[in-house]
Amino acid sequence: MKKNILILCLCILGVVSAFTGLSAQSTAQSFESNPVDKKFVLLPVKTGAAKTWVTVNVDGVWQHEFEIELATENPDFYATLEVGQWKGKKLVLTAETVVPGSKWLNLIKTSDQMSDEPLVYKEEYRPQFHFAPRRGWTNDPNGLVYYKGTYHLFFQHNPYGTSWGNMTWGHAVSTDLVHWNEMADAVIPDKNGVVFSGSAVVDWNNTSGLQTNPARDKAGKIVNPPLVAFYTSTDANRGKGKSAQSMVYSLDEGKTWLKYPGNPVLPHMIGGNRDPKVFWYEDRKNPANPNNGHWTMALFMDGEDYALFSSKNLIQWEKICDIKKLGCSECPDMFELPVDNNKQQSRWVFWGGNGKYLIGNFDGKEFKIESGPFTTKFGGNDYAAQSYSDIPANDGRRIQFSWMQGGEYPKMPFNQQFTSPRNLTLRTTPDGIRLFMEPVKEIEKLRLPDPITFSATLKGAENPVQVTGLKGELLDIEIRFDLKSYHATDTNSVIKTELFGQTISYNPGTQILSLTGIKAPLAPVDGKIKLRLLIDRTSLELFANEGIVQIAKCFVNKDKNSANLTISGNSDLADVHIVAYQLESVWKK
C-alpha cells in the first residue's frame, strides 16, 4: 500500500458499533487523509438530503466546522474544501450524524482541481455574463478592491450547499470586470465564527505594519503594500452568537489571506453591528504628507442606524459620529464623487443595503447630510451593493456590484448571481443632485458585430411594431422613445415593450416606468425616454435615462432563442429608435 493513504474509516466515535448493533440510528463517521498531498477534498452533496455538521481537524487541532447535505449516493454535485495549506499534515473530517447505509465515504474524493471541472459553467441556467459561483450559494459582494491590474471580487459563499449557510468569503479575480476566474475560498470560519460581509483596501503606506519587509522604489513608495480586508465575524455558536469586526490581510497581492491574530479588532457593541466598509480619508490641507489622513469605517449598528469610526493604523478604532434613520439597514458604503464631473464640486454619498442613499459632506469627522434619502432602485432583485476601493486615479470611476437577490435556478448546483458592474456618477437634475448608475463600458466588449438597428412610428395599441432579426438569449438593447408633446397630460396611453415574456411599460402622462409591476418615476429629458436593457439567461437589467432609474429583475428565460421584441402604443405617442446587440458568453464552451 502507498505510504500516502486516504483512510476511509468508520472507527471514530463508535462508528463500528453503530454498524454492528445500532444500525437503525444515525451516528458519526470520519474521513482521514494522512498526510495531505492534494489541494482539495471534494465532498458529495445531495440537495434535500439530511444535513450534518462536519468538523475539520488538522494534526488533532480543531480548525472550523460546516453544515452540509451529504449525499448517501448519486450526488447532485461536489463541494470543494481547500486543504492544500495543510500539506503533509493529518486531516480528519468528522460528520456528526450520518444515516445508516450512507456511501458518502466511498464518494469523497481528493484532487488538485476544484470540483466538477468538466461540468462547471455549462449548466442550463448558468448566467452567461453575470457572475455566479461555480458551486453553492452566494449573496452579498464583499471586499471589492483593485490592485495591480486585477479586480478582486469576494462574496458571501456557502461552498457546501445551495441554500444560505456556512458563510465564507468566496473569491474571484478579473482583469476586465466581465471575465472571471474563481479562486479557492479566501476567508473561512474560525474560532471567532462564520464570515459575514465587509470590505477591503490597499494599505499603500503600510500604516498597519502588517508588511514586515516593505520594499521601496526609487521615490520611496512601498511597492509591496499589504491588502487588508475587514468582515463581521459572528460567534462560533454555529452562527447564532454576537457579531464583531475582524481583519485578514494578504502579503502576496491577494492570493492568500492571513487572519489577524488580535481579532476581533472592533468588539461587539450593539444589535447586529456588521458589514464594515473601510476607506482612506485624505486631509486636503496637506496632501503631500502621505500620513495626513486616516482610515474611516462605516458600520451598520442596529435598526436604521449606522456609525463612522476612525483609525490611523487599521487596528485601533474610535467612534467619530452617527448616521441615523437612513430608511434601511445593513451593508453601508461611503464614497466621494464629483458633481457633473467637476472635482471642485464634489459630494459624499452614504449608501445602505436596499439602495437608499444620502448626499452630504464629510470633513473626516462628521458626515453632514445635505439631502436624501433617495434611491435609484425601485423593487426588483437588487440588494447589498458595494463599490470598489483603490480604482486608479487615471480611471476615476466608482464601480459597484450588487447581489441579485431572490433569483431562481432550477435544479442547478449553484444559487444566486450578481448584477453587471455599474459605474456611479453624481449629476445635477431639475430636482437637485442625484446618483446615476450605468453599465461599465467593459460590457460593450461582449457585443457581437452587426447590431440590429430599427426606427418606426408606433402603429397603435392593437398593432405592435415587430423588431425582427434578433437572435440568441444574451442581448444589449438601447431604445429611445421620442415622445409627442401633447400627451403630457394623458394618463391612459401607455407604451409597451415586450421581450422574453417581460413587459416594460411607460406612461408619458403619469411619467411612470414599469417592469412587470415594478414601478418607478421617470420624467422625460428633452422629450425623450432612453432605456438600456441587459438580458442574460436568468436576468434583465433596465437602466433608464442614463441610469437615474435602475431595475434589476431575475427571471428564468425558458424560451432562449425566441428573441421576439415588440413595441406597442398609440401612433401619436412616440417614435421609437432601437440598436440591439447580441452578446457573447464569458464562459468557454
Of the candidates 472, 512, 474, 464, which has an alpha carbon nearest to the alpha carbon of residue 491?
Answer: 512
pLDDT tens digit sequence for 552-581: 999 998 776 668 899 999 888 899 999 999
pLDDT at 353 over 70: yes
pLDDT tens digit sequence for 304-333: 999 999 999 999 999 999 998 888 899 999
Of the candidates 387, 426, 381, which has an alpha carbon nearest to the alpha carbon of residue 405?
Answer: 381
Cα distances (angstroms) measured from residue 245 to each of 229, 269, 272? 10, 10, 11
Percent of the chain with pLDDT over 70: 92
Arithmetic mean of pLDDT, 263-277: 94
Query: Can you tell me the distance from the alpha carbon of 196 to that of 273, in angstroms, rounded to the nearest whole number?
Result: 11
The per-residue pLDDT for 349 is 98
Question: Which structural domains are found in the chain, ordered by start?
Answer: 5-111 (2.60.120), 136-442 (2.115.10.20), 449-582 (2.60.120.560)
Q: What is the value of pTM for the model shown?
A: 0.93
The per-residue pLDDT for 264 is 96
What's the grid cell of residue 5? 493513504
Q: Band of the pLDDT at 279, cuts 50, 70, 90?
A: very high
Query: Can you tell me the distance from the alpha carbon of 532 to that of 377, in angstroms, rounded to the nearest whole number?
Result: 15
Residues labelled as active-site residues: 140
Q: Band of the pLDDT at 589, cuts 50, 70, 90?
A: low
Q: Band of the pLDDT at 292, cuts 50, 70, 90?
A: confident
pLDDT at 23 over 60: no
Q: Band of the pLDDT at 397, cuts 50, 70, 90?
A: very high
Q: Band of the pLDDT at 18, cuts 50, 70, 90?
A: very low
CB 366 within 8 A of CB 343: no
Arithmetic mean of pLDDT, 216-226: 95
Cα distances (angstroms) measured from residue 66 to each of 54, 412, 522? 5, 21, 47
pLDDT at 16 over 50: no
Arithmetic mean of pLDDT, 85-99: 96
The per-residue pLDDT for 505 is 96
What's the grid cell of residue 532? 438600456
Cα distances (angstroms) measured from residue 282 to each of 295, 361, 406, 520? 9, 14, 38, 37
> What does pLDDT average to over the chain?
91
Q: Band of the pLDDT at 486, cuts 50, 70, 90?
A: low
Percent of the chain with pLDDT over 90: 83
Query: Can you tell me the distance from the alpha carbon of 497 to that of 470, in angstroms, rounded to the nearest whole number?
Result: 14
Query: Can you tell me the distance from the alpha carbon of 83 to that of 95, in angstroms, rounded to the nearest whole number?
Result: 17
Q: Band of the pLDDT at 233, cuts 50, 70, 90?
A: very high
CA Rg value for the chain:
26
The per-residue pLDDT for 489 is 60
The per-residue pLDDT for 241 is 74
pLDDT at 20 over 70: no
pLDDT tens digit sequence for 128-177: 999 999 999 999 999 999 999 999 999 999 999 999 999 999 999 999 99
Query: Half-sphere exposure of 496 toward its Cβ, with a 13 Å CA cutoff?
Result: 20
Query: Can you tell me the distance from the alpha carbon of 191 to that of 127, in angstroms, rounded to the nearest whole number?
Result: 35
Q: Band of the pLDDT at 272, cuts 50, 70, 90?
A: confident
The per-residue pLDDT for 7 is 43
Arithmetic mean of pLDDT, 462-484: 92
Q: Which residue has the cell 444566486?
A: 416
Arithmetic mean of pLDDT, 212-224: 94
The per-residue pLDDT for 394 is 95
Query: Can you tell me the distance from the alpha carbon of 556 to that of 480, in angstroms, rounded to the nearest whole number?
Result: 26
32-36, 374-378, 510-514, 557-561: range with lowest mean pLDDT? 557-561
pLDDT at 11 over 90: no
Q: Band of the pLDDT at 393, cuts 50, 70, 90?
A: very high
What's the grid cell of residue 187? 476567508
Arithmetic mean of pLDDT, 364-380: 92
Arithmetic mean of pLDDT, 208-236: 94
Geometric angle at alpha carbon 335, from 330 and 337, rounded to 5°: 140
The residues with which 323 forms a beta bridge, in sequence order, are: 306
Query: Can you tell me the distance from the alpha carbon of 26 to that of 411, in angstroms, rounded to the nearest whole number?
Result: 27
Buried b (16+ CB within 10 A) or exposed e, 462-475: eebbebeebebbbb
What's the grid cell of residue 491? 394618463
Maximum Cα–Cα distance across the chain:
87
Arithmetic mean of pLDDT, 5-28: 46
